[in-house]
């Protein structure tokens, strides 16, 4: 570990581990301070949460910090503040996080209630993020406008997962028993101290947030905290006259004091008031960073003068797809068309793929990945992957010579995501590598054995040609 950073004489902030320059203090708590910072290599701005290691150790919160890191790595979503990396010195732990420029949603509400369409949009984004967390076994437990940030595009970002819980914290009765959260936003079942469902408690908090966005004040409020708790426990609130009947009905379900009959995330998604203008966010995670498919539509659209050439090569193009080399065999032709070339492999690479030089053209399988040889044109391989993806209701994302099959069903480990990457061995021979990137292993194995492997088998190269190639290489 490195020593603590020193303030430089030129007036700039301290440099942490030679990577980030600290700027202004953005906020602080008992154990941590949050700073605005700059990546000295990329010039990108980030937020850095600096945690006092000694205080954490003395307070017995080491496991708590580790759990927060694990949770932030598990919940990567466009409407959740991203954790980029964790660093440490002798005395500090640093969370390098996404810098959200727009401030807290609370700042908007403090100026007065929001218009219905604006409140609905924020609520839709909140439910998208919360539902994503719940599908991964993460329960926030401290949802409130102060923990909802806005980026420079006006989109919501859920932050502060310090009080979040995961299933391994459940008691024998299958419930959580730790009382936490902000008094005005806690669910009534937390007040009974008999245990609670983390998902149901989060939904209650979402209901209070929606009320605050639309009304400009809290549904349960009293100067005396105990009096406020009594109102929460009894569910005593009244919707203002400007609330529509559909909104009032939704709030009644969200703020149902009985957690068993309280509305669920899937039911919210089907609610008439909620569904108005709702659009599922499309994204993917690559290199531990979240990328929105909606934001890159124009960036990867082929220019007009290249669209015809890309079509001639047999490659499909869509809003989130970069062209891939097709039947073009000449390197100079590829350069002329500005098309990427698949990564090249040599004889030793391909020999190392299999033990005993046995490359009989069959799949070489190992756990969550597999490789095979093919002499098929790359567009044919991509088309076959797309065909197989439709069977499993996968979304296909293509970039260069990489194809990603992204599932729609959420599980504790997220949607099943499978990548296929194509490497050039010779001008007429390629290696296709299949790999599970995310999701449940059992689900991957079932899809792989029933659909993926049988579907790709016809693309596998014959054994005699492979043997000849290896002999030549020797």
Query: Kind of pairing, strands 417-426 and 343-344?
Result: parallel
From CA 282, how far away is CA 295, in angstroms rounded?
A: 9
> Under a CB-based contact definition with an 8 Å cutoff, are residues 211 and 251 in contact?
yes
Closest-CA residue to 433 (of 358, 352, 338, 334): 352
Q: Is 399 annotated as a binding residue?
A: no
Catalytic residue numbers read: 142
Quote the Cα angle for 23-27-30, to 5°: 125
Crossing angle of helices 198-215/116-135, nearest 10°? 170
From CA 260, how far away is CA 189, in angstroms rounded?
A: 11
From CA 278, how far away is CA 122, in angstroms rounded?
A: 11
- Please state the φ and ψ torsions of residue 220, each to the nearest 5 degrees: -120, 110
169: helix, coil or strand? helix
Closest-CA residue to 192 (of 219, 145, 230, 166): 230
From CA 412, how far away is CA 198, in angstroms rounded?
A: 15
> Under a CB-based contact definition with an 8 Å cutoff, are residues 64 and 70 in contact?
no
Radius of gyration from C-alpha coordinates of the chain: 27
Torsion of CA 468, 471, 473, 474, to 10 degrees: 180
From CA 334, how far away is CA 325, in angstroms rounded?
A: 7
> Under a CB-based contact definition with an 8 Å cutoff, are residues 209 and 123 in contact?
yes
Strands (E), 248-363: 283-286, 289-292, 343-344
> Under a CB-based contact definition with an 8 Å cutoff, are residues 199 and 174 in contact?
no
Which residues have C-beta within 8 Å of that of residue 173, sequence separation ≥ 6? 195
From CA 202, how far away is CA 127, in angstroms rounded?
A: 10
Which residues have C-beta within 8 Å of that of residue 399, sequence separation ≥ 6? 300, 321, 322
Strands (E), 230-305: 283-286, 289-292
> Under a CB-based contact definition with an 8 Å cutoff, are residues 453 and 347 in contact?
no
Binding residues for ATP: 58
Binding residues: 58
């Amino acid at each position: 570990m490195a020593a603590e950073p020193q303030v430089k004489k030129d007036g700039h902030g301290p440099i942490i581990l030679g990577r980030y320059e600290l700027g202004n203090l953005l906020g602080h708590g008992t154990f941590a301070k949050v700073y605005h910072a700059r990546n000295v290599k990329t010039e990108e701005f980030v937020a850095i949460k600096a945690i006092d290691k000694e205080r954490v150790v003395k307070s017995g919160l080491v496991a708590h910090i580790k759990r927060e890191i694990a949770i932030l790595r598990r919940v990567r979503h466009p409407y959740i503040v991203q954790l980029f990396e964790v660093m440490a010195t002798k005395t500090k732990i640093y969370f390098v996080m996404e810098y959200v420029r727009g401030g807290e949603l609370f700042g908007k509400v403090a100026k007065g209630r929001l218009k219905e369409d604006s409140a609905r949009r924020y609520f839709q984004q909140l439910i998208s993020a919360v539902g994503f967390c719940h599908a991964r076994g993460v329960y926030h437990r401290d949802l409130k406008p102060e923990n909802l940030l806005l980026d420079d595009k006006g989109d919501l970002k859920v932050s502060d997962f310090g009080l979040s819980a995961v299933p391994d914290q459940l008691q024998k009765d299958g419930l959580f028993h730790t009382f936490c959260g902000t008094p005005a936003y806690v669910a009534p079942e937390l007040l009974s101290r008999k245990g609670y469902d983390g998902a149901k408690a989060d939904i209650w908090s979402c209901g209070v947030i929606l009320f605050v966005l639309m009304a400009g004040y809290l549904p349960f409020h009293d100067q005396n905290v105990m009096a406020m708790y009594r109102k929460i426990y009894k569910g005593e609130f009244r919707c203002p006259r400007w609330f529509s009947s559909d909104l009032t009905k939704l709030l009644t379900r969200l703020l149902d004091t009985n957690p068993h009959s309280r509305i669920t995330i899937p039911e919210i998604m089907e609610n008439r008031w909620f569904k108005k203008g709702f659009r599922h966010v499309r994204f993917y995670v690559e290199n531990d960073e979240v990328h929105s498919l909606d934001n890159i539509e124009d960036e990867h659209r082929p220019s007009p003068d290249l669209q015809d050439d890309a079509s001639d090569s047999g490659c499909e193009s869509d809003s989130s797809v970069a062209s891939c080399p097709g039947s073009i065999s000449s390197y100079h032709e590829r350069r002329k068309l500005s098309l990427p070339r698949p990564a090249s492999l040599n004889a030793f690479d391909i020999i190392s793929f299999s033990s005993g030089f046995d490359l009989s053209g069959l799949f070489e399988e190992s756990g969550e990945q597999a490789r095979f040889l093919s002499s098929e044109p790359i567009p044919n391989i991509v088309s076959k992957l797309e065909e197989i993806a439709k069977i499993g209701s996968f979304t296909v994302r293509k970039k260069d010579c990489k194809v990603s099959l992204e599932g729609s069903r959420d599980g504790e480990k997220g949607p099943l995501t499978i990548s296929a990457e194509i490497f050039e061995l010779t001008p007429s021979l390629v290696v296709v590598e299949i790999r599970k990137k995310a999701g449940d292993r059992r689900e991957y194995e079932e899809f792989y054995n029933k659909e993926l492997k049988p579907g790709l088998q016809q693309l596998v190269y014959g054994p005699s040609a492979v043997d000849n190639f290896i002999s030549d290489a020797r």
